[in-house]
């Protein structure tokens, strides 16, 4: 087993969770973390037992004990640390999206090509058990040829505001629907999306993001062989709706079968007068929640469980042992961004958009 030294760039909630998983992995011998907020970097370093913390990303990326990098910075700060790591020959796990523009995404793709970089992206929905099982059924041919699909996700208004506050101009399509664009492209692997038509509606946010930001978006994606995918995102649920993350529905229709996956979690209800914290919104407790609806996973008996945990372990196993790895590639991430941007263009202009987009 190869010994690993991991740098965590961005010590927010996702960085802390990834760092915890790295701490628990038997191949990891060295941990470092950075954040623009040095106090935050130090706090996370103390929690995960890191040997180094810094407000300077380059210091942890370039440290001689570090041979792999996790980028968990805000969405508009993904590109620079990824490019720096691959220039040094260090593999990377980066949160989605690859970038906020195709021009920046292509900078990453060129850097990977130039330095033979190994970069994976955190589309952790792939690692939810029901979706792994679905991929297995498709690969086994049990559905025949996929002819149609549906994927939608609902979330709270408060999370849309938080996302816009963290990364100006970012929309629920790029921030969240991208997970389900990735899933459907993974399921329809080898049958690329060639046409996009989208429509959206704004509820009007009072957070400075502007009323033109659509909180509800629906899109039709057409694949190369004519298969049709309906996908949508709604970040307009009431503040106290019981979901602690994405409420979802995924359906696949094949020539020889179908799969229907209900992820609304309405069968897992808890009520407590003590209040239940939200993994992304620390100041928003709720009395009633759907257990299991936290998108990255949840803590149980001192350990973190769920898609983000499984994904992080899978990447660390891949680095340490050479095991196969189904984490999204940079090419997957660029494709997901392109489709997301095409949906946005269509919903704001009313136009049918054909892929590839001009860059």
Render 195-250 in DSSP notation, one character per residue: EEEEEEE----SSSS-TTS-SEEEEEEEETTS-EEEEEEEEEE-TT-S-SS-EEEE
Mean pLDDT confidence for 299-320:
95
Q: From CA 219, how far away is CA 231, in angstroms rounded?
A: 5
Say if strands 28-34 and 52-54 run parallel, antiparallel, or are unpaired.
Answer: parallel
Q: From CA 3, how far away is CA 316, in angstroms rounded?
A: 10
pLDDT (tens digit per residue) in 220-239: 999 999 999 999 999 888 88
Alpha helix (H) ranges present in the chain?
A: 13-24, 38-48, 57-61, 79-87, 102-115, 129-139, 157-166, 172, 178-187, 307-321, 330-349
Say if strands 298-300 and 269-276 run parallel, antiparallel, or are unpaired.
Answer: unpaired
Domains of the chain: 4-122 (3.40.50.720), 127-303+337-349 (3.30.360.10)
Q: From CA 135, how far away is CA 81, in angstroms rounded?
A: 32
Residue 48: pLDDT band by 50, 70, 90 thresholds? very high
Helix or strand or coil: residue 132?
A: helix
120 or 296: whose pLDDT is higher? 120
Hunting for tokens 């010590």 — which residue is that? 11
pLDDT (tens digit per residue) in 167-211: 777 789 998 999 999 999 999 999 999 999 999 998 765 444 445
Whether pLDDT at 272 is above 50? yes
Instruction: Tell me if 97 sits within 8 A of 337, measured CB to CB.
Output: yes
Q: In degrees, to the nearest 5, what angle opens at C-alpha 69 toward C-alphas 67 and 74?
A: 165
């Amino acid at each position: 087993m190869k010994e690993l030294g991991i740098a965590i760039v961005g010590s927010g909630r996702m960085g802390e969770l990834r760092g915890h998983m790295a701490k628990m992995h038997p191949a990891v011998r060295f941990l470092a973390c950075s954040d623009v907020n040095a106090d935050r970097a130090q706090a996370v370093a103390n929690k995960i037992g890191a040997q180094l913390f810094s407000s300077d990303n380059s210091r942890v990326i370039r440290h001689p004990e570090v041979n792999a990098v996790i980028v968990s910075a805000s969405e508009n700060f993904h590109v620079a640390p990824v490019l720096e790591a691959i220039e040094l020959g260090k593999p990377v796990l980066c949160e989605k999206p690859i970038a906020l523009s195709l021009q920046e995404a292509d900078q990453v793709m060129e850097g990977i090509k130039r330095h033979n970089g190994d970069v994976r992206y955190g589309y952790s929905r792939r690692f939810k058990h029901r979706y792994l099982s679905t991929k297995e059924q498709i690969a086994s041919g049990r559905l025949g040829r996929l002819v149609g699909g549906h994927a939608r996700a609902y979330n709270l208004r408060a999370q849309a505001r938080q996302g816009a506050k963290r990364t100006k101009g970012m929309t629920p399509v790029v921030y969240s629907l991208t997970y389900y664009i990735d899933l459907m492209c993974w399921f329809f692997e080898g049958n690329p999306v060639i046409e996009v038509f989208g429509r959206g509606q704004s509820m009007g946010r009072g957070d400075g993001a502007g009323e033109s930001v659509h909180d509800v978006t629906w899109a039709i994606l057409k694949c190369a062989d004519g298969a049709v995918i309906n996908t949508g995102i709604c970040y307009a649920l009431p503040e106290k709706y019981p979901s602690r993350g994405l409420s979802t529905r995924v359906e696949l229709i094949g020539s020889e079968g179908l799969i229907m996956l209900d992820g609304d979690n309405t069968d897992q209800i808890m009520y407590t007068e003590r209040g239940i914290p939200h993994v992304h919104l620390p100041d928003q407790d709720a009395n009633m929640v759907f257990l299991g609806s936290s998108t990255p996973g949840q803590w149980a008996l001192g350990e973190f469980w769920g898609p983000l945990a499984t994904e992080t372990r899978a990447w660390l196993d891949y680095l340490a042992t050479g095991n196969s790895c189904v984490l999204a590639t940079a090419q997957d991430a660029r494709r997901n961004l392109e489709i997301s941007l095409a949906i946005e263009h269509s919903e704001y202009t009313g136009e049918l958009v054909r892929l590839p987009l001009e860059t």
